[in-house]
Structure 1
Amino acid sequence: MRWPHRLNAYVPAREGVCAPRNCFVRKRYVKIASIADEVKNRAPEHSVPTQLPIIPDHEVLRVIGRGAYGEIWLARSLTGAVRAVKVVYRSTFESERAFQREFQGMSSFEPISRAHAGFVDILHVGRTAECLYYIMELADDHLNGRDIDIINYSPRTLKSDLERRKRLSVSDSIALGLSLTDALSALHAHGLTHRDIKPANIIFVDGVPKLADIGLVAVSGQRSFVGTEGYVPPEGPGTPSADIFSLGKVLYEISTGKDRLDFPELDSQLSERPDRERAMKLNDVLVKACANEPRHRYATAEAMHTDLALVQGGEAPVRKRARGWLTIAIISICALLTFAIWKRFYVIPAATGPLQATVQTEPAGAMVAFDDHIKPSPAMFDDLDPRKYRVRIMAPGYDPIETTIDLSDRRSSSPPLFRMTRSKGGLEIDGSEPGLRFAIRSEDGEISRDGVTPAKLANLPTGKYEVTARRGDWELRDTIEIKRGETARKIFAFLNATLNVTSEPNGGEIYVDGALQGKTPLCIELPARLHELIERFDGWPDERQTIDVKPNQENSAQFVFANGSIKVTSAPGGASVLSNGRELGRTPLVIEEVKPGKVNYELRLAGYKPAVVTGEVTPQQQAFLAARLEKSLSPEPGQRWTNSLGMKFVPLDSVRIAVWETRVQDYEAFCRATGRRHDPPDFAQGPTHPVVKVNWFDAVAFCKWLTEKERDENILEPSLVYRLPTDLEWSAAVGLPKESGATPEMRDGKIRNEFPWGKQWPPPNGAGNYADQSARRRGASVIENYSDNFPETSPVASFKPNALGLYDLGGNVWEWCAEGYKGSSPGTGRDWGVLRGGSWSTSNRTELQSSYRNVIDRNDRDVIYGFRCVLAPQTDDNSQGR
C-alpha cells in the first residue's frame, strides 16, 4: 500500500515512458522528470543490501521479491506458519525523515489491514537501526494454492492468472470488480489510497483477491516505483479517483484480453462471445471509470460497486441523472441573453436539444460500437458531442461494417438502414476412397448441401457445420467451422483393421455390435472405429467391452471369466451360513470359486434374529459380506420362556413344555384372530380355566397360528415351532421311567401303580382336580373320601406343580398328544388319537395311572378334553401329521 503522506509526486514505472495516451499533466506534477532522473541516478548508490535479515521469532528462508526500497522474504514462524516479510532498509532513503514516514505509513495501515477481507493482513510491524519490517500473510502459490512448496513457491497474482488465460469471463471479471471496489471503498474511508493498482498488485489468499503493496509481489530483482504506465490517470496517482481509474483499466484488461494501452478499443470477437450482452453493460462501467476527466468518473468506489452489482444482475448501470432545475434555469437564462445580444449577427442552428444518433441494422441485434459505447441494434446513442464518431457494426457470420457519423453540424442523425452481408468461405471434402456420400448442415439448420467425394463447395456462409460421410452402414461425422475468406478442408478416412479376441477360458461366443462373429480365440477384420464387444460363456454373466479399433496397429481384446470369492462375517461370530437351505459353514467363512454375479446368504445364530447378506461377486476379487446380528426375543437354550400370550414354558429335554394347560383366554385370542368358532361348556369358566370342547385338529390349528403370529412379530425364530407334545414327551413330563414300545398302543398301561402324585391310592386331598365329593351332584362316580373343592374345571396352577414345575398333569382336563394311538399313520377305520392325564370327572384308578392312554377319535370334542403346548425345534416331524 502507498500512504497519503507520500502522495506529493508521481513517478512513472519506467524511465522515458510518459503518461497514457490522451493525457495531460497538471502544473503541480512538473517535478516528475527530475524526480525520475534523481531516482535513476541514485539507485546504484542506495541499492538494497544483500545480507540475510534478522527477524525476531522467524526463520528467514529466501527472497521472493525486491522493490525500490527493500525486499520480500519467505519466512517461517516458531509455530511453523509460513509468512511474507517485507524489509525496508534505511540506506535506500535520502533522509531519516523519509524513512520515518515509511514507518508511520506502515503503522497507519497495520490496525486496519485485518478489518476487510480485501486487504492483506499485516501481522506485525517492527524496526531496527538498519531497517524496518512488517510481517504479512502469504499469498497462495500460483499453481498449488495453500500447498506451499518453499523451494518452488511463486505467489498467485491476477497477473499470473492472466498469463495462463488470455482473459476472464464477464462473470468472473464482474465478481473480481465487486470484491476490489468494496476493498477500495474501505481503504478510501480511512483516508488512504493505493496509488499503484495493477494485476501484479492483486494477490489471492485462500482464493480471495486482495490489494497488495507492490513490494509483496515484485519479481526478484525488479525495481518498481509508484505508478505504472497505462494504469495511472492523466492527473497522476494519489487520489481515490485515480485508484478508480486504475481499477477500471485492470478490469478492461481481464475482461477483453487486450492491453490497457489499447483502451477504449473493443474486443474484436465481442459479437461472437456468448456473454456479449453483459460485456456491453460492463463496458459502460469501464468507460465511466476510465474517463480522462476525473469529474466524469465515478465519484466513489462505492458508486462503481453499485453499477457492477447491477450488471451482475443483468441490469444496465445507472445513467447520469439530468441536471437539477437550478442548473437548467441558469443555462436557459444564459441562452436567452446570448440569443438577444447576437440575434442580429448570427443564425442559430435549428437543433436546441442534446444530440442523438440511431443506428439500425438488418438483421437486427448486431453489436454497434459508437466510439467507446456499445449497444445492440437498433441502437440509440444520446448526449453526444458535435463531432465525428467512428462506428463499427459486428454480427456473427456477417462482414463487419466500419463507417463514420458526422454530428459536427449539431443535428441529430438517423443514418439509413445498414444491411449486413453474410461473410463466406469454402469447404473441400475428400475421403479415403472416391464416391463417398456426404452431407453438410449449418448449425442453425438453414443451409444444407450433399454430394459425393471429392467435392469443393464455395460461397458457404460462415459458421459451424455438421459434416457427415457414409460408406454402407458406416457413418463418420465431424463439425467444421467456415471462416470468412478461408477454405476449410475435411478428409474422411474409412479404413479397416484387424482385431484379435481371446478369453480365459476359450470358447466364448463373441458378438460385435450385436452380431455373432464366432468363438474365441478369434481374429476378425472390422471398420476402424468404436465397437461394442460382448462375450457370452455358459454360467457367467455377459462380459462387455467398448474398443476403439485403430488402423495400422495391433488391436486386441481379452475377456477373463474368472471366479471370485466371498468372505462372510458376523457380529457376533459363529453364525451358520446357509445357501438355498444348505449350511456352508460358520462365520467367519471364506467361500472360494464363486461365479461372478449377485449372491445372498442367510445367517442363523441361536439367540439372534436370522439375517440375510447380499452382494455381488466380481472376477478375481473377494467380496466382503458382513452383518451385525440383532438380539432375538426368542428363548435362550435351557432357559425358561414366557411367550406373547403370557404362556410359560420350562425346559424338557430338547423342547420347552407349557407349565399349564392352554387357557380359555389363550384360545379366545386365537378365535378372535382367525374367526374360528368355539362352543362353550355347560358350566361357567373364567379366563384362566383350561379351554375345553376342543378336538385334536383345534389344538393343532392353535399351535400353528401361535407359531406364525410370533414369527411375524419377530419374537420367534424360524427354527422354532409350537406343537402338541408327543406321547413320550408327555410321559417324561409326568415323571414316568423310560417306556418300551414303538407306539402309544404298545406302551399303554404297561407301568402300573404310578400316579401323577406318587404311588398311593386313593390320592391325598388336594393332589389335583379329579372327580371328588363336589362332583357327586352331577351324578358321576367319585373318589371316595377325596376332596379338591372344584366340581368342574379349576383355574390352571390351582394345585402344587410337580418336580419340573408343571401343573395339572393329573386331572383338570385330558390332554391331546401329537401322534395317533397306533403311531403316526392311523391305518384304516377311525382316526384314534391319544389323551393323557385324566380330568375333573375321572375317578377310575386305572385311568388315573400315569401310563394310561385314553383312546378317542381325534374329531371328538368334550367338556373334559383340552391340551397343552410345547415349543420345539423345527423338524420334518413337526407337521402334526396324522
Structure 2
Amino acid sequence: MTQPPSAPGAGSGGAEETIAPSAFRRAAEVRPATVAQKRYTWQTAVAVGVALLVGISYLLFSSRSIQFDVYPGPPDRLEVSGGWFQLPLADRLLLREGSYTVHVEKEGYYDVNQSLDVDESPSRTVTIEMRKLPGQLQVTTDPDVDAMVTVNRTMLGRAPYGPLELEPGTHLVTVRADNYLPFDYELTVPGLGIFQLLDVQLVPAWADVSISSEPAGAVVLRGEETLGETPLSIRLNEGSHDLTVVKEGFSAWEGVVDAVANVAQELPLIRLTPANAQLQVNSIPLGANVSVDGRYRGQSPIKLALSPDVDYEIGLSKAGYGSTVRSVRLQAAATQAITVDLTARAGEVTINALPQDAVIYLNGQPRGSGSVTLQLPSAPQQLEVRKDGYETFSRSITPRPGYPQTIQVRLLSDEEVRMRSIATTVSTSQGQVMRRVEPGSFSMGASRSQQGRRANEVIVPVTLTKPFYIGTKEVTNSEFLRFRNTHDSGGDIHASLAGNNNPVTNVSWADAVEYCNWLSRQEGLTPVYEKRFEKWEVVTPLPDGYRLPTEAEWTWAIRYQARSEASVFPWGNRLPPRRDSGNYADQAARELVPTVLPGFNDGFASTAPVGSFPANALGIYDGGGNVAEWVQDYYAVPTPGQTTASEDPLGPKRGAQRVIRGSSWRHAGITELRLSYRDFGTAGRVDVGFRLARSAL
C-alpha cells in the first residue's frame, strides 16, 4: 500500500492551519460585465442600398412603357387597375406584364372601361376613343296647340315633347299641326349631354277674311257648308275658296276668294240686287241637297231668288236616292214651283250575328235575330246588335246598289270586354315596354323525331294559370349602364357589342337578377331575389318586382306566342331563315364565329340594336338571334314520360347551373336555331343577355 505524502512540517503535534472566512455577497449584487461588440453600421446600409438599387433596376428593366392617347383629350380622369406596380414617367406609365383595366372619364362622354394586356413589347401607345353622350332635346310650340313632333321621320308624340335623347349629329325635326304651316328643320345636336330647347314658332295656314253685304243678314256658303251670316269674319285655309252669298228675295252672289296664309283681308262690300223671280223647289223625299248651276244653296223645300231671263240648272240629290237636274228659265216677276221625285236606290245587306239569339236593329228598329238579309236604301244606316250579358255592337253601314254586302258580328261577353280593358302593355321607369301574356297550356321540349333535337329537350306538359308581363325587347347596354356604369359588353371583341341600343352581354345570371332587384327598388316594388348563403334565390310566392322569366313563361311567350301550336324556328318550320328574319351567324360575322349560315346576311357582325327585326305575334322582338337569354330556372334534364301538367313551374329547387334559352348572333346550326334549344351556365358570355319579366298581380 502506498501511503499519501506528508505535508512538510506536519506532525502529530503541530498546530492546525487557520482558514479565514470570506465575505458573503447576495446574488442581486452580482452584475454581469458588458462586453463591447464590433459595429457594422455602414456595411449594412451599403448592403440595403445595393439591394434596393438592384430591385428598382429589375422593376425598371422588366416593366413596359405605355402611353395613353385619349381622343378627344385630355381626360378628366384616367386610372389603371390591376397588377401591383405602376410608375408614372412623364406622359407614360411603366407597367409589369399582365392584364389591366383602363378607366377613363371625361365630362360629356361615356365612361370607358377598356381591357389592356401588357406583353413583351418594350413600349406601346394605347388609343382610347371617347364616345359623346347623347344630347337632350325638348320641343315646344308657340302657340301651344295640338302639334305632332317627328324626328328623323319617326313620329314621337304631341308637343311639348321631351326631353328626348339624340345621338350627336344632324337630325330632321318636323312639327305638324292642323291649320298651321308645316315646320321642317335640320337640327345639329352636339351631344355631350347638352340640353337643347327647340321652340317652334308655328305660322297660321289660314287667313282672316271679313265679309259684309248690303243688305246685311245674307248667308255665306262654301260648298254645302254654311259659314254664317254677314257681316262675318271667318278663317279660310290657304288656297282658293268658292263662296256663295244668298238672301231671300235677292240674287245670289258668287265669287272666288284667294286666301294667303297669315294675311288678313277684307272683301269689298257685296251689294245684293233684288230678284224679281222666285223658284220653290220641293222633293220627295224631303231634305234633298239643292244646287244652282253646281253651287249648293240648301236643302229642300227651299225658295230660290233668281234673275229673270237667265237659264239655270237646278240639281237635286240625296244619299240613298238618285240625283237629277232640272233646267229652269223664269220671266220677270214670275213665281214658280217644282217638285222632284227622287228614285230610291237600294242595296242588299246580309247580317250574321253570334250568338244567334242576338237581336239585330237598324236605325233603332228590330229587324230579326241570328241572320237576316235586307234591301236597304243606299244611304247611311245605323246597325246595332244587342244581347243581355254582352257588349252592344254598333256601326254605320251604307248599302251599295249592285254590290251585296255580308257583315259578320260576334258579340263580346262582359268577361271578354273586361279582359280587353286590361292594358296589354306597361312600361318600366327606364322606358322598357312589357307585354301582358295571358295564361295557357302547352308542352315544353321537342319530339325525338325533330332534326337537331338534344337529349335535354324532354317533353313536359305545362299549364300557366296566371298572366304575366315580359319585356318586348332585351335589356340594352344603356339601360344596364344606369345600374352598373363600369360594365363592358365586349367592345374590345367587336365595337357593336358595346352599342348604346344593343343588348347587354357579358352578364352572369347573378348580374341579371341584381339588375332586376335594382330596378324594382327604383320603382318602389318588392325585389324578387334575396341572397341566402351567398347565393341569389327566388322569393316565393313571387312578389310584384321585376325578375327573369321562368323557362315555362319564356316558352309560352316566345316559342308558342300564346297560341296552340309552336314553330320549330323563330321564322317558321323550315331552313334556311327568311331574309331579315333575325340576327344570326351570317356572312358579316365570318371573322368572329367558326360557322356561318350559307348565303345569309343580316348586316350585323355581332349584336344588332334591339328591335331591328320583325316581332312575333305578341310584339316580342329577338326571341331568336341577337343574344341568347338567361331565364330564372336551375338547369336540369326533366324526367321523361310525364303526363300530368305542371302548374306554374319555377324549375328545380336547387342546382349548379341556370337555363339559357334562345339562339344568338353566334349560332348557325340547326340544333341551336330551334326554339326548343336549351343551354346552361352561370358566367357571362358575349352572346348571352336577358329580358325582364314581372307577375301580373
TM-score by length of 1: 0.24
TM-score by length of 2: 0.30
Which has the bigger relative contact order, CA under 8 A and spacing at least 6? Answer: 2
Bigger proportion of residues as helix: 1
Bigger proportion of residues as strand: 2
